[in-house]
Amino acid sequence: MALHIRANPGDIAPLVLLPGDPGRAEWIAETFLENVRTYNTYRALLGFTGTYKGVPVSVQTSAMGGPSTAIVVEEIIKLGVKAIIRVGTTGGIDGRLEAGSLVIAQGAVPLDGTTRQYLEGRPYAPVADWDVLEALVGAAREAGSKHTVGLISTEDAFYATSPESAREWAKFGVLSIEMEAAPLFLVARMRGVKAGAILTISNQIGDTSFVDERILQAGVENMTRVALEALLKLKDRI
Ligand SMILES: O=P(O)(O)O[C@H]1O[C@H](CO)[C@@H](O)[C@H]1O
Ligand SMILES: O=c1cc[nH]c(=O)[nH]1
């Protein structure tokens, strides 16, 4: 049993979706999985295992930010997980991507402190695993889901980011900003596990007003279907 994910080897499937929000984890499990059982409730890091189209799949909450994500990812890998897809929300920059649209991350500029601590000052490029990236893009294309593949950035301080600072990153090709992908990519790579991320644009950076809930929910549903189909493609590559 791990310290925070109070589960045992065998409780978690090798293929995992990783949302930040425990409510989204529960919704994914209830909506898309069959024969669901809850393996963790400790600290609201809700974790569920079930089957999707007959294949064992787990949904594990990362909670918000790098510190929690790194703890969760380290522990689920110790418990036997082999491939992880983050299913998150992200803030777009300057309205280039509209609310509800999907971003598949090639890599994440590591602006967060968690990645910095692991790297001890080394320059590094946290990128998605190639098989996961290919599976996500393939699944999105097959579903006819409009998506953009590219660079995102991962930060710590949601309310410290301004449209002006985000715009500076856009000059270097950053599409959107979120809070978990860089440490996920780094820790997975260090431990020999596959990871990727697909995200739904939930707002524009600096504008914390909610987008229309129906638009956001449609994007999240679309993202989740694509991610689940991508996990199926990874089944024989782990
Ligand atoms: O929707 P989730 O997956 O939580 O992701 C985004 O939402 C949270 C901020 O509102 C951060 O965790 C950020 O990365
Ligand atoms: O980190 C995030 C995620 C969604 N929206 C933001 O503005 N920032």
Handedness of CA 25, 30, 31, 35 (dihedral sign): positive
Q: Does 78 map to a domain?
A: yes
Q: What DSSP line would sit under 115-156, residue for residue?
A: HHHHHTT-----B--HHHHHHHHHHHHHHT--EEEEEEEE-S
Residue nearest to atom 8 of ligand 2 (CA): 91
Question: How far apart are the CA of 178 and the centre of ligand 2, in A?
Answer: 5
Q: Does 218 map to a domain?
A: yes
pLDDT of residue 211: 86
Count of other CB atoms within 10 angstroms of residue 1:
11
Q: What is the CATH number of the domain that holds 70?
A: 3.40.50.1580
pLDDT of residue 33: 99
Q: Does 2 map to a domain?
A: no
- 212-225 core/surface letters (b: 16 or more CB in 10 A; e: else): eeebbeebbbbbbb
- ipTM for this prediction: 0.98
Q: Does 118 map to a domain?
A: yes
Task: Tell me the mean pLDDT per 10 residues along the chain, length 238.
Answer: 95 98 98 98 98 98 99 98 98 93 98 98 98 98 97 97 95 98 99 98 87 95 98 97
pLDDT of residue 55: 98
> Which ligand has the minimum distance to the alpha carbon of residue 90?
2
Domain count of the chain?
1
Q: Does 221 map to a domain?
A: yes
Q: Does 50 map to a domain?
A: yes
pLDDT digits (tens, 9 = 90+) for 119-167: 999 999 999 999 999 999 999 999 999 999 999 999 999 999 999 999 9
Ligand 2 within 6 A of CB of 66: no
Residue nearest to atom 7 of ligand 2 (CA): 91
Question: How far apart are the CA of 90 and the centre of ligand 1, in A?
Answer: 7
What is the number of the ligand 1 atom nearest to the C-alpha of 90?
Answer: 6
pLDDT of residue 208: 76
Q: What is the pTM of this model?
A: 0.98
Q: Does 10 map to a domain?
A: no
pLDDT of residue 207: 85
SS3 67: helix
Q: Does 7 map to a domain?
A: no
pLDDT of residue 94: 83
Task: Tell me which residue range forms the domain holding 44.
Answer: 15-234
pLDDT of residue 82: 98
Helix 22-32 and helix 213-234, axial crossing angle in degrees, nearest 10:
70
Question: How far apart are the CA of 89 and the centre of ligand 2, in A?
Answer: 7
pLDDT of residue 209: 78
